[in-house]
A and B are shown apart, each in its own frame.
Chain A
Amino acid sequence: MILEALMAAAFVGALTVFLAPDEWAGRLAFAISLIPFAGSLSLWSGFEAGGNALLGGEIAYATRIEWLEVGGRSVSWFVGLDGISLPLFVLTTFLVPLAILSAWTPVDTRQSQFYGLMLFMEANLLGVFAALDFFLWFVFWEAVLVPMYFLIGIWGGPRRKYAAIKFFVYTNAASLLMFIGFMSLVFALGDSVSSFALPEIAQAIAAGDLSAWFGIPPDRIAMVAFLAMFLGFAVKVPIVPFHTWLPDAHVQAPTPASVLLAGVLLKMGTYALLRFNFTMLPEQASILAVPIAAVAVVSVIYGAMLALAQKDLKRIVAYSSVSSMGYVILGLIVFTEYGIGGATFQMVAHGLISGLMFMAVGVIYNATHTRMVGDMAGMADRMPVTVGILVAGAFGYMGLPLMAGFAGEFFIFVGSLSAPALPYAPAFTALAMFGIVIVAGYLLSAMQSTLFGPFELETDYDVGPAAFHDVAPLAVLLAAIIVLGVAPDIFFEMIRDAALPVVEGVTVDG
């Protein structure tokens, strides 16, 4: 019941913070958010399960209680973790307290509602990664949108309304598409499944229980379902050309919301792709391997080129997320132990690094009230610590060895170079690697013009070192990135353990 306890802590915490006075809502929310973090650390240290939760592996901390039954199919409260979801679960509980800290300075209106929404979102994010029943998962999945919509729409920048509505419409339309895709699988499985439990459905598909439905042959249903789910998740990830909501949402969102959006919400998309598309329908994935790999490489290159063209620091980081997510897709589609494992590892690594970048840009913005590359120069003089950490984070983004980003990308490239399932794998890998060069290009040029040289900024504000509670989360994130880069095995062991069954085609031994 420990998973439930952690989600409940975040949820009850959200209600408490809603009712708390604005003056100390931030401190209260931070204190409350440490409870799930502490809990998830104990989950991590006590984690012993092996295998993939969907493919008959052992499920850690599982609870299954029947919720309701309609038309011969039951929906249950079914949660549990395996080697793929645990790292993301820990990532979420780790990022939320830091994001809350980063909100202390910029958020100065309606604090109790702001922090309440942050904790409410955390509860739902934890649910997304822990849920093993489709309906439960979908409820959490959609429930994440609502607080994010309000966080952007109320506390966002000047064009917040447009950004919030665009975010809401894009992701909801995508959810509907994905929902229809998944449901057509469930209907095609007919009586061979009696619940919406994901393990049961995944194993039934693997056992070949898909049958014709409304006269449509099973192969075609599987392909249509794969495409519908892929498109649905592609918006969330986002993959080019479905990425256009992302820069708007990021630029308008307040810093803490950006941190969670880039750090965790995007991972929902890649996590779901792994869980649904690649675990449940590996055959369809291998048929579409070349186009998907092409899309992944296009995302890498095109995202990076878009970042290169931006003047707004936040937009640069936002577009570079598109690029990084391209690596994750590439890692997933190659279907090798290191590819899928590396993709999952990269989800965590990118969560930390992009969180750090958004937070650092936010700290600079708090002081200068501008994010435009041309508006400022020489920030290193005034904010040495912040800038130092930002530079370190940028190098992490570029893939400096001994930092988490390097490990993730390295695993993906190792996995994709020798991918038997993907034709022309070396060519795709080489193209994707070229993306790193562009990343280095835009990050270095942006940093050079804003951070170094003589200080220059037209402002009435007194620009000085940031407050301790602004810098502390940056330092903690940087430390985590280095730890994960030096010792990737602390996560990679369990990830690989859960990724192997996906790679091995599918075996049912439950």
Chain B
Amino acid sequence: MVNGLPAVTALLPALLFAATGLTLLLVDTIRPDARSNTSMAVVGAIGSLAALAASVWLTASGAVNPDSGAVLLFADAIKVDTMALFFTAIFASVTALVLVAAHDYFHDHDNPAAFYSLVTFAATGMAILAVANSLAVVFVALEMVSLPSYVLVAYLKQNRGSVEAGLKYFLVGALSSAIFLFGISLVYAATGSLILSDIASASIEGLTGVLGVGIVMMIGGVAFKTASVPFHFWAPEAYEGAPAPVSAFLSSASKAAGFVVAFRVFTEAFPIEMAVAANIDWMLAFAILAAVTMTLGNFAAAVQEEVKRMLAYSSIGHAGYALIGVAALTVDGPANGTVMGAAMAHLLVYGFMNTGAFLFVAMAERWGVGRTFADYAGLWRRAPVASVAMAVFMFSLAGLPPFAGFFSKYFLFQAAIDNGFLWLAGLGAINSVVSLYYYSRVVKALFLDDPASPSALDAIDVRPTALYAAVVFAAVATVLLLPGFGPVIETAEAAASALF
């Protein structure tokens, strides 16, 4: 650490999240009145912005730098490097947006207080997941993310859809957690270690089969968290039934948390050379998952009639794109760092555009205009600013050039091609074309279609300020990340290259 600060300073973002969560509980205890909704939202937003600032500061000040400056703590169980900070920045941005938006979404909820602390505690788990350097920490952190998420999905406990979604999410989640944990135990059995770098250097003479099964099971755990095939079934149900801010949080931040596990654990614990030598080709497994996931997500999204469900499938599709970051890797591949860095940058951009899109749905739910494409017809006339923001999200998710989603997707594909994965990039491009169809349906409904009846727009009777602010901020970020893409991709590329 620079500046003579103690090494634990590197954990500042995670500590800030935890402190925020505790403060929220405290605020709820001191002021359990109706007005606490506002104070909770303010405290939560300030806390997550502080965590964001801390991770940006740690990266920018060089306290943790990609070449040598990874900070190891607690007997190597924690490793803070640029990649961890990069992901923490994603989690913090999404959390801040979601907490601000929740202020208006839960304005008439009986007990909004628990929501804020649950989100913050889940974010704490994500921040720890990002720095986990031991499989034990990975698992604990993963559960720290999952448990609050189950509750959040079922947060509208009077709403049957929400409760059903929560149960489905919980059942699939419990199953995949068990599989993941079993995988960890097999890896431990084969290598005798839980610290990632020790696993990599352990001798696996004669135990290759055990290690292989362990790795496959761990892939299953990752697939659940990232909502990838074959553990994607929960995602459309959970995202659709959950309150929209929770869907935003799960599909952006929680998904990114799954990817940080994939990116770090697989490259550090099972280095590519070793995997190829031992014939445990997890890259190939991820390549197949990526191909199937993006295709399934995009084609399923194309036939949806409800916007939220379409976004849920599109979120699966984007998991497929991001999986390219762990799929298009080869031994001594010239672009290994670039492809993973591009996937990280894509997740960052995706964090803003996808959160924004779900928050627009949150706004529509707040207005009560309905759920289908047809219900969104002509919203532009009454809510021009929010509709323009939604158009930005849709075009950016589709990867159209004037927005940041274009760059992040393009560089991902370019790096995959540079690494020899032309087929994966080509499939991604085809899927992007498909996605333009269903994303543009939203834009068409908002701007070109006429509302079903002149009174259909009367539902839009309020201007939820905080929701508006969150949506507009996400849109501005989606646009500004295009000119500002340089530092993002360069940081991500450097962070990812440090793993190889």
Contact = CB atoms under 8 A, between A and B. Distances in A.
A160 B400 CA distance: 22
B447 A154 contact: yes
Given A70-B415, A113-B384, A153-B448, A142 B401 contact: yes
Contacts of B418: 71, 187
Contacts of A214: 422
Interface in B439-489: 440, 444, 447-449, 482-483, 485-487, 489
**Interface on chain B toward A: helix, strand, loop, or mixed SS?**
helix
Contacts of A176: 429, 433
**Which of A69, A70, A153, A187 counts the most chain B CB atoms within 10 A?**
A70
Given A71-B418, A168-B440, A139 B406 contact: yes
Contact of B449 (A67, A124, A161, A187): A161
Contacts of B486: 66-69
B39 interface: no
Interface in A62-106: 66-71
Given A143-B402, A161-B449, A172-B436, A67 B415 contact: no
A282 B91 CA distance: 51
B19 interface: no
B414 interface: yes
A143 B440 contact: no
- Please classify how large the interface on chain B is, using the bins under 10, 10 to 19, 20 to 34, 35 or more: 20 to 34
Nearest to B422: A214
B421 to A, nearest CB: 11
A47 to B, nearest CB: 28
B415 A154 contact: no
Contact of B335 (A71, A139, A142): A71
Contacts of A165: 440, 444, 448
Interface string B395-409: 100001110001100
Contacts of A276: none
Interface string A162-179: 001100100011001000
Given A113-B384, A161-B444, A139 B402 contact: yes
Contact of B448 (A143, A154, A173): A154
Contact of B429 (A124, A150, A172, A180): A180
A165 B448 CA distance: 10
B411 interface: yes
B251 interface: no
Interface in B401-439: 401-402, 406-407, 411, 414-415, 417-418, 422, 429, 433, 436
Interface string A297-331: 00000000000000000000000000000000000
Nearest to A139: B401
A161 B443 CA distance: 12
Given A70-B415, A139-B401, A142-B401, A160 B448 contact: yes
B225 to A, nearest CB: 27
Contacts of A139: 401-402, 406, 482
B401 A153 contact: no
A365 interface: no
B249 to A, nearest CB: 29
A138 B407 CA distance: 11
Given A68-B485, A180-B429, A214-B422, A143 B415 contact: no
B484 to A, nearest CB: 9
A146 to B, nearest CB: 7
B342 to A, nearest CB: 7
Contacts of A70: 338, 342, 411, 414-415, 489, 493
Find the residue from A66, A139, A180 having the highest chain B CB count within 10 A: A139
A153 B447 contact: yes
A141 interface: yes
B302 to A, nearest CB: 14
A172 B432 CA distance: 12
B273 interface: no
Interface residues of A, number: 29
Nearest to B420: A214
B490 interface: yes
Nearest to A190: B418
A71 B414 contact: yes
Contacts of A67: 483, 485-486
Interface string A438-458: 000000000000000000000
A160 B448 CA distance: 8
A281 B99 CA distance: 54
Interface string B229-269: 00000000000000000000000000000000000000000
Nearest to A175: B401
A68 B335 contact: no
Interface in A145-202: 146, 150, 153-154, 160-161, 164-165, 168, 172-173, 176, 180, 183, 187
Contacts of A164: 448
B395 A146 contact: yes
Contacts of B402: 124, 139, 142-143, 146
A180 B433 CA distance: 13
Nearest to B488: A68
Contacts of A173: 433
Interface string A129-148: 00000000011011100100
Contacts of A138: 401
A176 B415 CA distance: 18
A237 B280 CA distance: 52
Contacts of B400: 142, 146, 172
A460 B351 CA distance: 57
Contacts of B448: 153-154, 160-161, 164-165
Contact of A143 (B401, B411, B414, B436): B401
Contacts of A168: 440
A141 B436 CA distance: 17
A141 B489 CA distance: 23
Nearest to A186: B414
Contacts of A124: 402
A79 to B, nearest CB: 14
Contacts of B429: 176, 180
A322 to B, nearest CB: 26
A470 to B, nearest CB: 28
Nearest to A214: B422
24 contacts: A67-B485, A67-B486, A68-B485, A68-B486, A69-B490, A70-B415, A70-B493, A71-B414, A71-B418, A124-B402, A143-B401, A143-B402, A146-B400, A146-B402, A153-B447, A154-B447, A154-B448, A161-B444, A164-B448, A165-B444, A172-B400, A176-B433, A187-B418, A214-B422
Interface of B: 335, 338, 342, 384, 395, 400-402, 406-407, 411, 414-415, 417-418, 422, 429, 433, 436, 440, 444, 447-449, 482-483, 485-487, 489-490, 493
| 9 cross-chain pairs, A with B, having the tightest CB-CB distances, nearest first | A68-B486, A142-B401, A143-B402, A71-B338, A153-B448, A139-B401, A70-B411, A161-B448, A71-B415
